[in-house]
Structure 1
């Protein structure tokens, strides 16, 4: 599931500075953990 979301966000993340991309990944992972668990 997380890979699907990453694939969707990757083009957007490329446009962002690295710090924003890392924060975005962290937020997605937290949301995925909450959704799965």
Structure 2
């Protein structure tokens, strides 16, 4: 059951890490907030 609770956090951290290592041209250059990039 704890796996289902931690999975969203793991996916969110994974998305943030991917975008930090590999920034996309669609991401705004002026914004350095990884959470805003993850939501988009």
TM-score (norm 2): 0.47
Structure 1 stretches of 5 or more lacking a match?
A: 1-14
Structure 2's unaligned 5+ residue stretches are 24-40
Matched positions, count: 22
Q: Deviations over 1:1-37 (max 9, x none)?
A: xxxxxxxxxxxxxx71x22100000000000000111
Q: Following TM superposition, where does structure 1 have runs of at least 4 consecutive aligned residues deviating by more than 3 angstroms? A: none
Bigger-Rg structure (1/2): 2
RMSD: 1.6
1:25, 1:36 → 2: CA distance?
16
TM-score (norm 1): 0.50
